[in-house]
Amino acid sequence: MYASIRSYTFKSTATRANIEKMARQVEHDFVGKIERLPGFHGYYMCSAEGRLLTVSLFETKASASESTRIAADFVKNTKLPVALGGVEVTEGELLVSREAHREVGAH
């Protein structure tokens, strides 16, 4: 499995309300694009220490790299509630992957 990890800076003030609005927009308009890529496993986004961090997981390196290209196009061509600045991209193979077992319907 491969990960594409992107770390964005904010160009403008990132209020909690604007970040939440952006998260809804990303989920609605962006995630649908990358989840169609072969071997999609998951997408995660969080705001931490003045940065926006995203992790996309795929079965293949090619799909992880394609998700990075799609993300760059999305950020460039979409009016977001918070302007994003520079991005640092790291892609690589997962060495350890474990998730908690959960019952269906459990939270």
Q: For each of the domains in the chain, give its residue range(s) and CATH number, in order of start.
A: 2-90 (3.30.70.100)
Rounded to two decimals, the pTM is 0.85
Percent of the chain with pLDDT over 70: 97
Sign of CA dihedral 58, 30, 77, 23: negative
pLDDT tens readout for residues 44-93? 999 888 889 999 999 999 999 999 999 999 999 999 888 888 899 999 99
Distance from C-alpha of 104 to C-alpha of 15, rounded to nearest angstrom? 34
Q: 99 Cβ partners below 8 Å, 6+ apart? A: none
State the alpha helices, DSSP H only, in the chain.
Answer: 16-29, 31-34, 61-77
Distance from C-alpha of 80 to C-alpha of 88, rounded to nearest angstrom? 19
Distance from C-alpha of 67 to C-alpha of 39, rounded to nearest angstrom? 11
